[in-house]
Amino acid sequence: MLPTTNSRSHPLRRLLLALLSLGLGLLLMATPALALNDAQQLVVESWRLVNQGYLDPAKFDQVHWRRLREQALEKTINSSDEAYEAIEAMLLPLEDPYTRLLRPQDYTSIKATNLGSEINGVGLQLGARAEDGQIVVIAPLEGSPAADAGVTSGTALLSVDGQSPQGLGLEATAARLRGEVGSQVVLKLQPPNGSSEELTLERRSVDLRPVRTRRLRSAKHTLGYLRITQFSEGVPEQVKEALQELSEKEVEGLVLDLRNNSGGLVSSGLAVADVFLSGSPIVETRNREGINEAIPSAIETLYDGPMVTLVNGGTASASEILAGALQDNSRSQLLGSRTFGKGLIQTLTNLSDGSGLAVTVAGYMTPSGRDIQNQGIEPDRILDPPEPLNPGGEEDRWLHDAELWMEAQIDRDQEAQLENTENVQLDNAENIQLDSAEDVQFKTQQNRDDS
């Protein structure tokens, strides 16, 4: 039999239960909430930056973005390395190789590249192929071990010291190519339309020297040659100095070489566009709200003479912005081969522990509305293969073709100017003759009136 209770005890029991509940509540309120440690804060900070700025927020629903944060924090995270692994796992479902964590050493390296200083490595600039995510060579850095070995744009990187680049990811692959001067790295490569091959490269210090210039002389004309291999921080000023130097040498035209320029700082690319364009649209950016914003050039230009621009499959990102602006505004013809096709813009943010986070925040289109992402820019004139391995060198056939094209354009401009001058002189002569005839007629009529 169950114990019985007196009905009078019910109010007392309810009071005791109420006091007990209040006591437990006060106890729970007095217990402090569990604070996140520094490593966990790093995960939350990264999640927040992506959540606030990522170009395609619709992707968040597809990958259950909030749940990814919760799953990351459910793991044991007490060190920076554990935080990095959690962040990388959290970003992986976005399937955007350009939205990525940069560990402190990698972040330092990429900042050094953006400043235009030296790097230690083999000199490969990498990107992800659109159709399958394969890590490919955008371009080798000029004067690097990779360039000396003849590695070309579009070459697939199959392994780095036996590890798969697709498994490592874009930034980790790039990090494994860098290292101490004199150390070696073994690469397995597959050139476009070629069979795979193994290549051992020795790392060395590569002087980026993003701006190079010289005169190109022929029997009839003197041209300027301006090569930009990267849009790092000091490039706009270096370009201005180079053009000033060429102007003092009285060049008649300019060959701008953007081959194997994988981009860099968009702000630097826009500043260089200001040098050639006057009050014209440079690019249209599209943000996560789908709003397009046109960015115009300044009114004043530093060089407004005739020019032609060389591009290839290693021309990407900020250099595609410049090439597209020159083409769409009929400022310069493009010669070479189709560009790489990277039409996305990333921000680079310092994280609290010295690492960095790159986040895709915008896409861009050329002034005429062409979307470059995964498509690239078709030049006005395709130059014959094979593509020269040493852009700007003595055996560079494409540069020679550009010289011939520029000289022919100068000749046409001079002929048109001469013809225009002759027409003006002829019009002036006819006007003088007409005035003389009218003057004679007037004087004859005046003599008749006097008589």
The residues annotated with a catalytic role in the active site are 317, 328, 342
For 289, other C-beta atoms within 10 Å of its C-beta total 6
Residues 282 and 290: their CA atoms lie apart, in Å, by 19
Residues 46 and 41: their CA atoms lie apart, in Å, by 9
DSSP letter, residue 93 = G
| Three-state secondary-structure class, residue 339 | coil
For 23, other C-beta atoms within 10 Å of its C-beta total 10
Considering only CA atoms, which of 327, 273, 328, 319 is closest in space to residue 295? 273
Contact 156, 139 (CB under 8 A): no
Parallel/antiparallel/unpaired status of strands 204-207 and 197-202: unpaired
Residues 170 and 281: their CA atoms lie apart, in Å, by 32
Residues 401 and 203: their CA atoms lie apart, in Å, by 34
Residue 355 burial by Cβ neighbours in a 10 Å radius (0-12, 13-18, 19+): buried
Instruction: Work out the angle between the directed axes of helices 104-115 and 170-177 (0-180°, nearest 10).
Output: 80
185 CB contacts (<8 Å, ≥6 apart)? 122, 160, 161, 176, 177, 179, 200, 201, 203
Residues 287 and 240: their CA atoms lie apart, in Å, by 31
Q: Cα–Cα distances in Å, from 22 out to 27, 252, 394?
A: 9, 89, 88
* H helices, E strands: number in the chain: 13, 18
